[in-house]
A and B are shown apart, each in its own frame.
Chain A
Amino acid sequence: MDYKNINNEEDLALQNFFQSYEKEKAPDSFTKNTMNKVLHEWQSQPISATTEISTFQKTIIGITIVLCIVLVYFIDIKNPHSVLSVINSFKNNFLSIMSDSLFLPLQAIIKKIPVFVYIITFSSAFILMMDKLIHRISSNYRVK
Protein backbone atom coordinates (compact mmCIF):
# COMPACT_ATOMS: atom_id res chain seq x y z
CA MET A 1 0.00 0.00 0.00
CA ASP A 2 1.45 3.36 -0.99
CA TYR A 3 0.72 5.71 1.86
CA LYS A 4 2.12 8.75 0.12
CA ASN A 5 -0.21 8.57 -2.83
CA ILE A 6 -3.69 7.39 -2.23
CA ASN A 7 -5.75 6.64 -5.28
CA ASN A 8 -4.50 9.27 -7.69
CA GLU A 9 -7.97 10.47 -8.66
CA GLU A 10 -8.97 10.89 -5.06
CA ASP A 11 -5.77 12.77 -4.35
CA LEU A 12 -6.32 15.02 -7.36
CA ALA A 13 -9.89 15.66 -6.25
CA LEU A 14 -8.71 16.71 -2.81
CA GLN A 15 -5.96 18.89 -4.27
CA ASN A 16 -8.58 20.54 -6.44
CA PHE A 17 -10.92 21.15 -3.53
CA PHE A 18 -8.10 22.71 -1.50
CA GLN A 19 -7.50 25.23 -4.28
CA SER A 20 -10.72 26.90 -3.23
CA TYR A 21 -9.99 26.48 0.47
CA GLU A 22 -9.58 29.60 2.55
CA LYS A 23 -8.28 29.54 6.07
CA GLU A 24 -10.59 30.67 8.84
CA LYS A 25 -10.40 34.31 9.85
CA ALA A 26 -9.38 34.90 13.43
CA PRO A 27 -11.62 37.34 15.35
CA ASP A 28 -10.78 41.05 14.94
CA SER A 29 -9.72 41.43 18.56
CA PHE A 30 -7.35 38.48 18.30
CA THR A 31 -4.06 40.40 17.96
CA LYS A 32 -4.99 42.86 20.70
CA ASN A 33 -6.02 40.13 23.15
CA THR A 34 -2.98 38.01 22.35
CA MET A 35 -0.56 40.91 22.76
CA ASN A 36 -2.21 41.79 26.09
CA LYS A 37 -1.49 38.24 27.25
CA VAL A 38 2.06 38.40 25.89
CA LEU A 39 2.75 41.76 27.58
CA HIS A 40 1.29 40.43 30.82
CA GLU A 41 3.64 37.49 30.53
CA TRP A 42 6.55 39.84 29.81
CA GLN A 43 5.70 41.98 32.86
CA SER A 44 5.51 38.96 35.15
CA GLN A 45 8.99 37.82 34.17
CA PRO A 46 11.71 38.87 36.60
CA ILE A 47 14.24 41.21 35.03
CA SER A 48 17.82 40.37 35.89
CA ALA A 49 20.95 42.24 34.92
CA THR A 50 24.32 40.64 34.42
CA THR A 51 27.52 42.61 34.23
CA GLU A 52 29.94 41.89 31.46
CA ILE A 53 33.58 42.25 32.56
CA SER A 54 36.10 42.51 29.75
CA THR A 55 39.43 40.65 29.76
CA PHE A 56 41.28 43.94 30.32
CA GLN A 57 39.14 44.74 33.34
CA LYS A 58 39.64 41.23 34.70
CA THR A 59 43.43 41.68 34.32
CA ILE A 60 43.37 45.02 36.17
CA ILE A 61 41.29 43.53 38.99
CA GLY A 62 43.67 40.55 39.20
CA ILE A 63 46.78 42.77 39.32
CA THR A 64 45.18 44.96 42.00
CA ILE A 65 44.33 41.99 44.18
CA VAL A 66 47.87 40.59 43.81
CA LEU A 67 49.35 44.00 44.65
CA CYS A 68 47.17 44.30 47.73
CA ILE A 69 48.22 40.83 48.91
CA VAL A 70 51.90 41.63 48.33
CA LEU A 71 51.61 44.95 50.19
CA VAL A 72 49.82 43.35 53.13
CA TYR A 73 52.37 40.53 53.18
CA PHE A 74 55.47 42.75 53.12
CA ILE A 75 54.26 45.72 55.13
CA ASP A 76 52.84 45.66 58.58
CA ILE A 77 50.03 48.12 57.94
CA LYS A 78 49.16 48.40 61.64
CA ASN A 79 52.64 49.81 62.31
CA PRO A 80 53.03 53.34 60.75
CA HIS A 81 56.82 53.19 61.04
CA SER A 82 56.91 50.09 58.89
CA VAL A 83 54.85 51.84 56.20
CA LEU A 84 57.05 54.94 56.35
CA SER A 85 60.24 52.92 56.15
CA VAL A 86 59.00 51.11 53.04
CA ILE A 87 58.04 54.36 51.34
CA ASN A 88 61.33 55.93 52.36
CA SER A 89 63.26 53.01 50.91
CA PHE A 90 61.28 53.40 47.66
CA LYS A 91 62.04 57.12 47.70
CA ASN A 92 65.77 56.54 48.26
CA ASN A 93 65.91 53.91 45.53
CA PHE A 94 64.18 56.30 43.19
CA LEU A 95 66.63 59.09 44.04
CA SER A 96 69.61 56.83 43.49
CA ILE A 97 68.30 55.98 40.04
CA MET A 98 68.07 59.69 39.27
CA SER A 99 71.60 60.43 40.44
CA ASP A 100 72.45 61.80 37.02
CA SER A 101 73.30 65.51 37.01
CA LEU A 102 70.41 66.14 34.65
CA PHE A 103 67.90 65.17 37.37
CA LEU A 104 69.54 67.20 40.16
CA PRO A 105 66.82 69.91 40.29
CA LEU A 106 64.17 67.17 40.39
CA GLN A 107 66.07 65.34 43.15
CA ALA A 108 66.04 68.51 45.23
CA ILE A 109 62.27 68.83 44.87
CA ILE A 110 61.64 65.14 45.71
CA LYS A 111 63.82 65.40 48.81
CA LYS A 112 61.79 68.36 50.05
CA ILE A 113 58.40 66.61 49.71
CA PRO A 114 57.34 64.91 52.96
CA VAL A 115 56.52 61.19 52.92
CA PHE A 116 52.83 61.60 53.85
CA VAL A 117 52.33 63.58 50.60
CA TYR A 118 53.36 60.46 48.67
CA ILE A 119 51.09 58.29 50.78
CA ILE A 120 48.08 60.56 50.19
CA THR A 121 48.86 60.96 46.46
CA PHE A 122 49.22 57.22 45.82
CA SER A 123 46.19 56.34 47.94
CA SER A 124 44.03 58.94 46.17
CA ALA A 125 45.22 57.78 42.75
CA PHE A 126 44.50 54.18 43.68
CA ILE A 127 41.01 54.98 45.01
CA LEU A 128 40.19 57.07 41.91
CA MET A 129 41.37 54.30 39.61
CA MET A 130 39.32 51.67 41.44
CA ASP A 131 36.28 53.95 41.48
CA LYS A 132 36.53 54.49 37.73
CA LEU A 133 36.95 50.76 37.11
CA ILE A 134 34.00 49.76 39.30
CA HIS A 135 31.84 52.47 37.73
CA ARG A 136 32.70 51.19 34.25
CA ILE A 137 31.92 47.59 35.21
CA SER A 138 28.61 48.51 36.84
CA SER A 139 27.46 50.50 33.79
CA ASN A 140 28.37 47.66 31.43
CA TYR A 141 25.46 45.34 32.16
CA ARG A 142 22.96 43.41 30.07
CA VAL A 143 19.27 43.11 30.94
CA LYS A 144 17.84 39.60 30.63
Chain B
Amino acid sequence: MRRLIKQMSNNDKKIIHLVKKGDVSSFSILVERYQDMAFTLALSILKNREDAEEVAQDAFVKAYKNLGSFKGKSKFSTWFYQIVYRTSLSKLRVTKPRHESLDNLNSKQGDPDSYEQNKTDRLDKKKMLNAAINQLKEDEGFLVILYYYQELNIEEIAQCTDFSVSNIKVKLFRARKNLYDIMQKLMNGKAEELMYTQ
Protein backbone atom coordinates (compact mmCIF):
# COMPACT_ATOMS: atom_id res chain seq x y z
CA MET B 1 0.00 0.00 0.00
CA ARG B 2 2.77 2.41 1.03
CA ARG B 3 4.75 1.47 -2.11
CA LEU B 4 1.71 2.10 -4.26
CA ILE B 5 1.19 5.50 -2.65
CA LYS B 6 4.86 6.38 -3.25
CA GLN B 7 4.60 5.35 -6.91
CA MET B 8 1.45 7.43 -7.29
CA SER B 9 3.15 10.38 -5.63
CA ASN B 10 6.08 10.23 -8.08
CA ASN B 11 3.65 9.86 -10.94
CA ASP B 12 1.70 12.89 -9.69
CA LYS B 13 4.87 14.96 -9.80
CA LYS B 14 5.49 13.96 -13.43
CA ILE B 15 1.96 14.99 -14.36
CA ILE B 16 2.34 18.28 -12.50
CA HIS B 17 5.56 18.93 -14.41
CA LEU B 18 3.69 18.40 -17.70
CA VAL B 19 0.85 20.70 -16.62
CA LYS B 20 3.32 23.39 -15.56
CA LYS B 21 4.95 23.15 -19.01
CA GLY B 22 1.57 23.94 -20.60
CA ASP B 23 -0.06 20.53 -21.11
CA VAL B 24 -3.38 21.40 -19.44
CA SER B 25 -5.10 18.21 -20.59
CA SER B 26 -2.76 16.16 -18.35
CA PHE B 27 -4.50 17.74 -15.37
CA SER B 28 -7.50 15.51 -16.13
CA ILE B 29 -5.42 12.51 -14.95
CA LEU B 30 -5.15 14.13 -11.51
CA VAL B 31 -8.86 14.94 -11.56
CA GLU B 32 -9.72 11.32 -12.37
CA ARG B 33 -7.36 10.09 -9.67
CA TYR B 34 -8.50 12.32 -6.82
CA GLN B 35 -12.10 13.17 -7.66
CA ASP B 36 -13.69 10.51 -5.44
CA MET B 37 -11.49 11.36 -2.47
CA ALA B 38 -12.06 15.09 -2.91
CA PHE B 39 -15.79 14.49 -3.13
CA THR B 40 -15.76 12.21 -0.07
CA LEU B 41 -13.77 14.67 2.04
CA ALA B 42 -15.93 17.63 1.00
CA LEU B 43 -19.05 15.60 1.74
CA SER B 44 -17.72 14.69 5.19
CA ILE B 45 -17.69 18.39 6.06
CA LEU B 46 -20.64 19.76 4.08
CA LYS B 47 -23.04 16.77 4.43
CA ASN B 48 -24.63 17.69 1.13
CA ARG B 49 -23.81 16.07 -2.23
CA GLU B 50 -24.42 19.12 -4.42
CA ASP B 51 -22.32 21.39 -2.25
CA ALA B 52 -19.63 18.72 -2.00
CA GLU B 53 -19.47 18.36 -5.79
CA GLU B 54 -19.21 22.11 -6.23
CA VAL B 55 -16.51 22.39 -3.59
CA ALA B 56 -14.51 19.46 -4.98
CA GLN B 57 -14.59 21.03 -8.46
CA ASP B 58 -13.57 24.41 -7.07
CA ALA B 59 -10.74 22.73 -5.19
CA PHE B 60 -9.40 21.29 -8.45
CA VAL B 61 -9.60 24.69 -10.15
CA LYS B 62 -7.77 26.27 -7.20
CA ALA B 63 -5.17 23.51 -7.32
CA TYR B 64 -4.64 24.19 -11.03
CA LYS B 65 -4.35 27.94 -10.47
CA ASN B 66 -1.85 27.50 -7.66
CA LEU B 67 0.13 24.63 -9.16
CA GLY B 68 3.07 27.01 -9.49
CA SER B 69 3.30 27.28 -5.70
CA PHE B 70 3.45 23.47 -5.32
CA LYS B 71 7.16 22.80 -4.92
CA GLY B 72 6.89 19.05 -4.50
CA LYS B 73 8.27 18.97 -0.95
CA SER B 74 5.12 17.21 0.25
CA LYS B 75 2.85 14.76 -1.54
CA PHE B 76 0.43 16.28 -4.04
CA SER B 77 -2.42 14.52 -2.24
CA THR B 78 -1.58 16.21 1.10
CA TRP B 79 -1.35 19.61 -0.60
CA PHE B 80 -4.58 19.01 -2.47
CA TYR B 81 -6.52 17.79 0.59
CA GLN B 82 -5.52 21.05 2.28
CA ILE B 83 -7.23 22.95 -0.55
CA VAL B 84 -10.32 20.73 -0.24
CA TYR B 85 -10.37 21.34 3.52
CA ARG B 86 -10.10 25.12 3.21
CA THR B 87 -12.64 25.33 0.38
CA SER B 88 -15.09 23.14 2.29
CA LEU B 89 -14.82 25.25 5.44
CA SER B 90 -15.31 28.44 3.42
CA LYS B 91 -18.43 26.94 1.88
CA LEU B 92 -19.64 25.78 5.29
CA ARG B 93 -19.46 29.34 6.59
CA VAL B 94 -21.92 30.54 3.96
CA THR B 95 -24.23 27.52 3.97
CA LYS B 96 -25.82 25.70 6.86
CA PRO B 97 -24.89 22.03 7.19
CA ARG B 98 -27.80 19.98 5.95
CA HIS B 99 -27.40 16.54 7.50
CA GLU B 100 -30.04 14.18 8.66
CA SER B 101 -30.78 13.93 12.36
CA LEU B 102 -29.61 11.00 14.43
CA ASP B 103 -33.22 10.09 15.24
CA ASN B 104 -34.00 9.78 11.56
CA LEU B 105 -31.07 7.47 11.03
CA ASN B 106 -31.97 5.36 14.06
CA SER B 107 -35.51 4.94 12.80
CA LYS B 108 -34.16 3.93 9.37
CA GLN B 109 -32.10 1.16 10.91
CA GLY B 110 -35.19 -0.51 12.34
CA ASP B 111 -35.46 -2.38 15.60
CA PRO B 112 -32.52 -4.18 17.24
CA ASP B 113 -33.81 -7.62 16.33
CA SER B 114 -34.13 -6.89 12.65
CA TYR B 115 -30.64 -5.42 12.70
CA GLU B 116 -29.41 -8.50 14.53
CA GLN B 117 -30.52 -10.60 11.54
CA ASN B 118 -28.44 -8.54 9.14
CA LYS B 119 -25.50 -7.88 11.35
CA THR B 120 -23.15 -9.94 9.22
CA ASP B 121 -24.03 -7.93 6.19
CA ARG B 122 -20.95 -6.01 5.10
CA LEU B 123 -23.05 -3.44 3.30
CA ASP B 124 -24.80 -2.57 6.54
CA LYS B 125 -21.50 -1.85 8.21
CA LYS B 126 -20.58 0.46 5.38
CA LYS B 127 -23.92 2.24 5.57
CA MET B 128 -23.59 2.52 9.34
CA LEU B 129 -20.16 4.02 9.06
CA ASN B 130 -21.27 6.52 6.40
CA ALA B 131 -24.23 7.48 8.56
CA ALA B 132 -21.99 7.88 11.60
CA ILE B 133 -19.46 10.02 9.69
CA ASN B 134 -22.35 12.12 8.49
CA GLN B 135 -23.28 12.79 12.11
CA LEU B 136 -19.85 14.07 13.07
CA LYS B 137 -19.44 17.78 13.55
CA GLU B 138 -17.64 20.07 11.10
CA ASP B 139 -14.23 18.63 10.22
CA GLU B 140 -14.30 15.54 12.44
CA GLY B 141 -15.38 13.32 9.55
CA PHE B 142 -12.57 14.75 7.43
CA LEU B 143 -10.02 13.88 10.13
CA VAL B 144 -11.16 10.30 10.72
CA ILE B 145 -11.31 9.54 6.99
CA LEU B 146 -7.74 10.77 6.54
CA TYR B 147 -6.59 8.86 9.63
CA TYR B 148 -8.34 5.53 9.19
CA TYR B 149 -9.05 5.30 5.47
CA GLN B 150 -6.17 7.23 3.89
CA GLU B 151 -3.86 6.11 6.71
CA LEU B 152 -2.19 9.51 6.96
CA ASN B 153 -0.11 10.13 10.06
CA ILE B 154 -0.73 12.98 12.50
CA GLU B 155 1.91 15.21 10.87
CA GLU B 156 0.37 14.78 7.42
CA ILE B 157 -3.11 15.52 8.76
CA ALA B 158 -1.69 18.63 10.45
CA GLN B 159 -0.34 19.72 7.05
CA CYS B 160 -3.74 19.20 5.45
CA THR B 161 -5.57 21.28 8.02
CA ASP B 162 -3.06 23.97 9.06
CA PHE B 163 -3.46 22.93 12.70
CA SER B 164 -0.53 22.11 14.95
CA VAL B 165 0.31 18.46 15.62
CA SER B 166 -0.89 18.74 19.23
CA ASN B 167 -4.14 20.35 18.08
CA ILE B 168 -4.71 17.52 15.63
CA LYS B 169 -4.09 14.95 18.36
CA VAL B 170 -6.81 16.56 20.49
CA LYS B 171 -9.23 17.00 17.60
CA LEU B 172 -8.64 13.47 16.34
CA PHE B 173 -9.13 12.04 19.83
CA ARG B 174 -12.52 13.78 20.10
CA ALA B 175 -13.50 12.81 16.54
CA ARG B 176 -12.70 9.15 17.14
CA LYS B 177 -14.54 9.17 20.47
CA ASN B 178 -17.58 10.82 18.90
CA LEU B 179 -17.52 8.43 15.95
CA TYR B 180 -17.39 5.45 18.27
CA ASP B 181 -20.25 6.79 20.40
CA ILE B 182 -22.40 7.39 17.33
CA MET B 183 -21.63 3.90 16.06
CA GLN B 184 -22.66 2.51 19.42
CA LYS B 185 -25.94 4.41 19.27
CA LEU B 186 -26.63 3.33 15.70
CA MET B 187 -25.87 -0.27 16.55
CA ASN B 188 -27.67 -0.20 19.84
CA GLY B 189 -24.48 -0.72 21.83
CA LYS B 190 -23.21 -3.63 19.72
CA ALA B 191 -20.35 -1.87 17.95
CA GLU B 192 -17.61 -3.91 19.60
CA GLU B 193 -19.49 -7.12 19.07
CA LEU B 194 -19.95 -6.33 15.40
CA MET B 195 -16.38 -5.38 14.78
CA TYR B 196 -15.40 -9.03 14.35
CA THR B 197 -18.08 -9.73 11.77
CA GLN B 198 -17.04 -9.35 8.13
On chain A, the residues within 8 Å of B180 by CB distance are 6, 10, 13-14
Q: Are A33 and B57 in contact (CB under 8 A)?
A: yes
Chain A interface residues (CB < 8 Å from chain B): 1, 3-4, 6, 9-18, 20-27, 30-31, 33-35, 37-39, 41-42, 143
**Interface hits, B58-83 → A, CB 8 Å:** 58, 60-61, 64-65
Q: Are B35 and A34 in contact (CB under 8 A)?
A: yes
Out of A4, A13, A17, A37, name the residue touching B154 (CB < 8 Å).
A4
Chain B interface residues (CB < 8 Å from chain A): 22, 24-25, 27-28, 31-32, 35-40, 43, 52-53, 56-58, 60-61, 64-65, 122, 125-126, 128-130, 144-145, 148-149, 154, 169-170, 172-173, 176-177, 179-180, 183, 191-192, 195-196, 198
Q: Are A38 and B61 in contact (CB under 8 A)?
A: yes
A89: min CB distance to chain B, Å:
56
Counting from the closest, the 3 A-B pairs by CB-CB distance are A3-B169, A18-B148, A26-B39
Out of A6, A12, A27, A33, name the residue touching B195 (CB < 8 Å).
A12
A137 CA / B159 CA spacing, docked (Å): 44
A54 CA / B61 CA spacing, docked (Å): 36
Which residue of chain A has the shortest Cβ distance to B176 in the bound complex?
A: A6
Q: Are B28 and A35 in contact (CB under 8 A)?
A: yes
A16 CA / B154 CA spacing, docked (Å): 19
B98: min CB distance to chain A, Å:
16
On chain A, the residues within 8 Å of B25 by CB distance are 35
Q: Are B36 and A26 in contact (CB under 8 A)?
A: yes
A58 CA / B33 CA spacing, docked (Å): 46
Q: Are B129 and A20 in contact (CB under 8 A)?
A: yes
Q: Are A26 and B56 in contact (CB under 8 A)?
A: yes
A9 CA / B128 CA spacing, docked (Å): 18
A3-B169, A20-B129, A41-B65 known; 6 other A-B pairs, CB under 8 Å? A16-B195, A18-B129, A23-B40, A26-B38, A31-B32, A35-B25
A121: min CB distance to chain B, Å:
45
- A-B contacts, 15 listed (Cβ < 8 Å): A6-B180, A10-B177, A10-B180, A11-B176, A13-B195, A18-B149, A20-B129, A26-B35, A26-B39, A31-B31, A37-B58, A37-B61, A38-B24, A38-B61, A39-B24
